[in-house]
Amino acid sequence: MTNFYKKHIAIVWIAIVSLMSISCSDDENSVVTEASFVVAFESLSSNLGTINTSQEIAFVYSQTATESGNVTLLVETVNATYGEDFTTNPPLEGVNITVPILQGANGSSFTFNKVNQNLDETVEISFNIVSVSYPNSQIQGNTTHTLNSEASLGRGFEPEVGGPNQPNQVYIDLSTEEQTQVKRDTWDLGFYGGDDFRVGINGSIYMAAAEIDNTNIDAVTEADVASIQDQVAVGTFDPTNEVYIDNPDGDITKTAIASISANDADNNVYLINQGFEVGSETPAPGSVAVAGDARGWKKIRVLRQENGYLLQYADLNQSSHQEVVISKDSAFNFTFFSFNTNTTLPVEPQAENWDINFTVFTNILEGAGSYGFSDGVLHNRKGGVEIYTVNTDAIAYDNFNENSIVETNFVLDQRVIGSSWREVINDDKVLIDTIYYIIRDPNNNIYKLKFTALLNDSGDRGFPEFKYNLVR
């Protein structure tokens, strides 16, 4: 348990320090220093609908406890009864729960047990820190944790990107605090689940695709495409290579592979540059090694098959091909396919269940064509997410509230965050602290989000951190 709290303490401490500075300006007699022992909830809320039987509700400390103590919580409920609808461990005593502080620990937790499985949206259960029995202690930061059926109120977050090789694509649902990760070189093609018939390529490993003037996949050989192979790649610094990638703005009508026609004769063969495996080298601190060995080439042809797709694929010099039928699933943006396993596989959560994706991605450099970017964050444009940027000179993060929202500022382009939250030039790796983002999710919840770290304590990239709060 100790390692868990060490992992999260930095994010929550940032929130605590921020609140400390606010309190100091309001009350000169309430000065808090970093030497104070502060206990705060790791997150502000939990969704009752996602709890099956029980859930640990965690605290973090501003420093390692050098002696024992305890935290006293006041429990307040709306339309819920202790013993009938829920219990806790430690148990409730009157209206309070006492959670021990253990010497040597960086945090603690208590258990919430859901007894009644039919708790509805009218239920709200709050745990409030009312006292901390420990020398030089202060109550600051996330002092209340609320359980209801509403969206998350916010928290600090450390996406599991995986370090300087950045092996993982990490999908995050802000309203449920859920994180889904997948190794980014495990899939190749995404088959669109919406009304159009579109096929996407994996930009996180720098894939590229070029149309061949031929409808017979078995007749295409390496000799037929040798003259264009050098062009069908990312990072050639030729602006014409933009046609070989899916447009990085996320518009589904701008894929490298044209819309799949109902007329089979209109669907040509495509040359596929499979990009690169995830890198395995250990780079110098502050650098990345995201691209490993080249994954080679394929040829594909895609046809419509009822309300789905028929994928034909083969190695370049093969005179026969494999086929697989891939059904549409409207609950997801895409159904994903891997050439390595010859099967579909889960990658993204359902379209309504994620908001932002931490990933390496293929972008466009003005005048230089397609180019690979690390430390990327894309939002779920196809699922209905919209974002805009706010400068702290205009309004501070802590001061942004529901009245600050400008509806006309929301942008569809999935690169609004992109790599704009950091600056990486030569030896300078800088977190840009002057901006934050306003995010509207598929359920019309609006959040503000600010990045709090680009590097870990050792100076390694691939360890981003951010905080976010529900605005409306």
Is the domain of 416 the same as that of 368? yes
> Both tokens of residue 159?
């996406």
What whole-number distance in Å separates Cα of residue 470 and Cα of residue 472?
A: 6
10 pLDDT higher than 60: no
Residue 49's pLDDT band, with cuts at 50, 70 and 90, is: confident
Is the domain of 340 the same as that of 413? no
Task: Indicate the average pLDDT of the chain.
Answer: 92
- Mean pLDDT, range 456-460, rounded to an integer: 94
In this prediction, residue 193 carries a pLDDT of 97
In this prediction, residue 19 carries a pLDDT of 36
Domain boundary among 348, 371, 394: 348
Q: Quick one: DSSP state of residue 411? A: B
Cα distances from 357 to residues 103, 326, 396, 415, in angstroms, run 38, 24, 25, 11
Answer whether 91's CB lies under 8 Å from 73's CB.
no
Domain boundary among 311, 331, 348: 348
In this prediction, residue 358 carries a pLDDT of 98
What whole-number distance in Å separates Cα of residue 19 and Cα of residue 13?
A: 10
4 pLDDT higher than 70: no
Is the domain of 395 the same as that of 297? no
CA atoms within 13 A on the CB side of 428: 6
446 pLDDT higher than 90: yes
- Mean pLDDT, range 290-302, rounded to an integer: 98
What whole-number distance in Å separates Cα of residue 242 and Cα of residue 209?
A: 10
Report which secondary-structure segment, H or E, holds 27. Answer: none
Report which secondary-structure segment, H or E, holds 381. Answer: none
Q: Which residues of 24-50 are buried (b: 16+ CB within 10 A; e: fewer)?
A: eeeeeeeebeeebbbbbbbbbbbbbee
Report which secondary-structure segment, H or E, holds 54. Answer: strand 54-61
In this prediction, residue 141 carries a pLDDT of 85
Is the domain of 41 the same as that of 143? yes
Is the domain of 7 the same as that of 136? yes
In this prediction, residue 139 carries a pLDDT of 87
Is the domain of 305 the same as that of 361? no
- Mean pLDDT, range 386-392, rounded to an integer: 98
Closest CA to 372 of 207, 210, 244: 207
Residue 150's pLDDT band, with cuts at 50, 70 and 90, is: confident
Q: What's the domain range around 368?
A: 157-182+352-470
- pTM equals 0.83
Domain boundary among 297, 314, 348: 348
pLDDT (tens digit, 9 = 90+) per residue, 257-284? 999 999 999 999 999 999 999 999 999 9
Average the pLDDT over each of 128-132, 342-346, 405-409, 427-431 and give the range with the smallest value. Answer: 427-431
Backbone Cα Rg of the chain? 25
Is the domain of 315 the same as that of 224? yes
In this prediction, residue 301 carries a pLDDT of 98
Is the domain of 359 the same as that of 443? yes
Q: Please state the domain count of the chain.
A: 3
Between these two residues, 10 and 339, which has the higher pLDDT value? 339
453 pLDDT higher than 80: yes
17 pLDDT higher than 90: no
pLDDT (tens digit, 9 = 90+) per residue, 208-241? 999 999 999 999 999 999 999 999 999 999 999 9
Is the domain of 230 the same as that of 266? yes
- Give the domain CATH number at 110: 2.60.40.2030
Between these two residues, 357 and 176, which has the higher pLDDT value? 357
In this prediction, residue 436 carries a pLDDT of 98
